[in-house]
Amino acid sequence: MFDLAEEIRRIDWKVFAIKMLSNALILGAIFYSLLSFWDIIQQEALYAYWKIRGQTFTVDEIKEEEPPAVSPFAALLAQPTPLKVTPKSTQFGIVIEKIGVNAPVIANVSVTDKRAYLKALETGVAHAQGTAKPGQIGNAYLFAHSSLDFWNFGPYSGVFNLLRKLDKGDRIVVFYKGQRFDYYVTDKQVVSGFDTKPLTRTFATPHLTLQTCDPPGVALNRMIITAELR
């Protein structure tokens, strides 16, 4: 005998189960998106905070602090003292004060061996094999992640997330074998992910090229920063 009440209860249960599954999928997608973008959201928020506050960072010697302001209001308007940055490595390291980059550099990494360069990028920024070393005439080529899935690529997965914030004249400090080299940005461009011209360029003076994915986590294009030693 057909039991209408029982059939309604079954339908209600199926509808409830479908709704619960749908909600779980939606919440899962939101959580995954937040987790994926958390690193870059955090970096963007910090960068905005530094800009608003006027906070700067430097690898230079910090000058002695000015005498304290005479009033609380003047203290609020005063420029914060630059925060000292200690490079992660003076044997081979890079510091970009404007965007908070401070990472070791792995030398002579093959750009054609995916396994080799992915392994290198887990521990820092990679220096392309066959390109100039810091301070040498030519093109010193460094590349790094701007990835969203940090759980796959290690602690330096987002080291170049904010590379696009650099402008002409910004300083990039590279340390190599205990020496310091100050490069200044001369050009910024976005190229196709398959464009190898930035890697093969030649220069008559010491130049530095930085490369990463653009936008972060997408290999479609490459952000290229060119800088010259001064």
**pLDDT reported for residue 110:** 95
**pLDDT reported for residue 99:** 96
**pLDDT reported for residue 40:** 75
Closest CA to 139 of 113, 167, 116, 111: 111
Closest CA to 213 of 194, 185, 187, 186: 194
| Residue span of the structural domain in which 45 resides | 1-51
Cα distance between residue 173 and residue 145, in whole Å: 19
What is the overall mean pLDDT for the chain?
83
- The answer to whether 105 touches 89, Cβ cutoff 8 Å, is yes
Q: Establish if 192 belongs to a structural domain.
A: yes
* Block residue for tokens 């987790």: 35
**pLDDT reported for residue 80:** 83
Does residue 78 carry a pLDDT above 80? Answer: no
Q: Identify residue 72 by its one-letter amino acid code.
A: P
Cα distance between residue 214 and residue 221, in whole Å: 5
- Average pLDDT for residues 75-104, to the nearest whole number? 89
Whether residues 39 and 148 share a domain: the answer is no
Whether residues 22 and 93 share a domain: the answer is no
**pLDDT reported for residue 32:** 46
Does residue 168 carry a pLDDT above 80? Answer: yes
Q: Which one is predicted more confidently, 27 or 162?
A: 162
Domain CATH for 215? 2.40.260.10
Q: Establish if 12 belongs to a structural domain.
A: yes
Pairing state between β 171-176 and 92-96: antiparallel
C-alpha dist (Å) from residue 59 to 98, 143, 205: 11, 21, 24
Whether residues 21 and 116 share a domain: the answer is no
**pLDDT reported for residue 180:** 98
Choose the weakest-confidence range: 57-71, 92-106, 193-207.
57-71
Q: List pLDDT tens digits, range 120-149.
A: 998 999 999 999 999 999 999 999 987 555
Q: Establish if 77 belongs to a structural domain.
A: no
Whether residues 40 and 91 share a domain: the answer is no
Q: Establish if 34 belongs to a structural domain.
A: yes
Q: Establish if 72 belongs to a structural domain.
A: no
Q: Establish if 127 belongs to a structural domain.
A: yes
Cα distance between residue 57 and residue 132, in whole Å: 27
**pLDDT reported for residue 157:** 80
Whether residues 27 and 107 share a domain: the answer is no
Q: Establish if 2 belongs to a structural domain.
A: yes
Rounded to two decimals, the pTM is: 0.79
* Overall domain count for the chain: 2
In the structure encoding, which two tokens stand for residue 158, read together? 């987002």
